[in-house]
Amino acid sequence: MSRIFFDNAATTPIDPEVIAAMTEVMTKNYGNPSSIHSEGRSARAIIEQARKTVANALNCSIGEIFFTSGGTEANNMALKNSVRDLGVTRIISSPLEHHCVLHSLDAIVASGSARVEMVRIDEKGSVDPEDLKAKLASSDEKTLVSLMHSNNEIGNLLPMDEVAVICEEAGAYFHCDTVQTMGYFPIDLDATNVSFLSGSAHKFYGPKGIGFVYINNDNIIKPYLDGGAQERNMRGGTENIYGIVGLAKAMEKAVAEREVRAEKISSLKRYFIEKLTATYPEVTINGNPDQSHFKVLSVSFPESDKGDLLLMNLDLHGISASGGSACSSGIDVGSHVIGHLHPDSKRHTIRFSFSHHNTTDEVDVVVEKLGGML
């Protein structure tokens, strides 16, 4: 029996056209992009073409896109460089951010260079915009607001445009972790004033270990990695040309197929919710259903003796899902997001996350198989 992959917020399978684009460059373009000879120049041209694809997708300038090793590095760079180079002394964030943001904030606080305030989160896990406004108004300090566009565990979406306006009016920088939404939702950086955002190819059918950070032209920051002059002096190290090509191809397809994919995944999620709640009325859905990423569905099951084995039993039945976030070395240490929202709950939470490759037949199988596991 073929496996059912419902863990597409953790990662996505690489699109065959992406593999083909990468393989072609691997085969033909081994030049170092910094070399001035022909091989080097053609590698450089490939990277700059890829940068253009990303910049076009976001309606920003090519000079604002810097390739990184992924979302973690992009977020580290935005947070740490804005403290080091832009004089930020206060960061307003939320307790539901990804660990790469939360742990960067811990490191910043430990260094004594800035302090962190957490914005109020409502019972469904959404940011309270009034509290954000109040916090911004409470101090004249140079402030960076760091809030994710979609939560990777419960799917809640941030009204990015609204938060961008709030930050702009308060004179604050705005960093948005867009790792889960990049390629899924339109982002127009000409219309929306964001200081930094991040992307990671493996979340939109590209390869792992490659991503990018968008840094608004108004923000002059110094290199994150010291070394050569790569990435216009911002990130030393020979470029991951295969990854960059794969990222650009994946982005190009994500943009071209965005509506079709979104429609397919949204209706699959609706079908899953209807079927699951009709079959097991005692399940609860986490997060805010009115503002939710169509690919993420976090479900809590009632306390039961078999609950701890739920993920393992799903895996044994050929179904891949996640206990929360899969970014903590595969060990289910419990989700800080669910823990924050439901600190006393003994229910068992599973994150199902979908792709345009999934089908309603797969949903039927999962809902049926869950019966023996609860």
Ligand X SMILES: Cc1ncc(COP(=O)(O)O)c(C=O)c1O
Positions in the binding site for ligand X (CB under 6 A): 70-72, 75, 98, 100, 148, 152, 177, 179-180, 200, 211, 327
β-pairing verdict for 196-200 and 173-177: parallel
Residue matched to tokens 């409470």? 138
For residue 316, CA distances in Å to 12, 275, 313, 330 come to 20, 22, 5, 16
Q: CB 226 → ligand X: shortest distance, Å?
A: 21
**DSSP line for 115-183:** EEEEPPB-TTS-B-HHHHHHHHHT--S-EEEEEESB-TTT-BBP-HHHHHHHHHHHT-EEEEE-TTTTT
> Toward ligand X, which CB reaches closer, 75 or 126?
75
**CA angle in degrees (0–180, nearest 5) for 153-155-161:** 130
> Toward ligand X, which CB reaches closer, 29 or 355?
355
Q: CB 9 → ligand X: shortest distance, Å?
A: 6
Q: Residue 107, exposed/middle/buried by CB under 10 A (0-12, 13-18, 19+)?
A: middle
Q: CB 209 → ligand X: shortest distance, Å?
A: 8
Q: Are 193 and 164 in contact (CB under 8 A)?
A: yes
> Toward ligand X, which CB reaches closer, 12 or 152?
152
> Toward ligand X, which CB reaches closer, 29 or 196?
196
Q: What is the largest CA-CA distance in the chain?
A: 66
β-pairing verdict for 143-148 and 173-177: parallel
β-pairing verdict for 211-215 and 65-68: antiparallel
> Toward ligand X, which CB reaches closer, 53 or 72?
72
For residue 2, CA distances in Å to 123, 227, 316, 319 come to 38, 46, 12, 9
> Toward ligand X, which CB reaches closer, 72 or 93?
72
β-bridge mates for residue 145, sequence order = 92, 174
For residue 94, CA distances in Å to 74, 90, 188 come to 18, 13, 24
Catalytic residue check, 167: no
Which structure tokens are listed for 222? Answer: 């110094």
Catalytic choice (60, 100, 167, 327) = 327
Q: CB 278 → ligand X: shortest distance, Å?
A: 30
> Toward ligand X, which CB reaches closer, 100 or 121?
100
Q: CB 355 → ligand X: shortest distance, Å?
A: 15
Q: CB 137 → ligand X: shortest distance, Å?
A: 28
Q: CB 100 → ligand X: shortest distance, Å?
A: 5
Q: Is 8 helix (H, G, I), strand (E, B) or coil?
A: coil
Q: What is the gyration radius of the CA atoms in the chain, in angstroms?
A: 21
Q: Quick count: other Cβ atoms within 10 Å of Cβ 332? A: 15
| Active site amino acids | 327
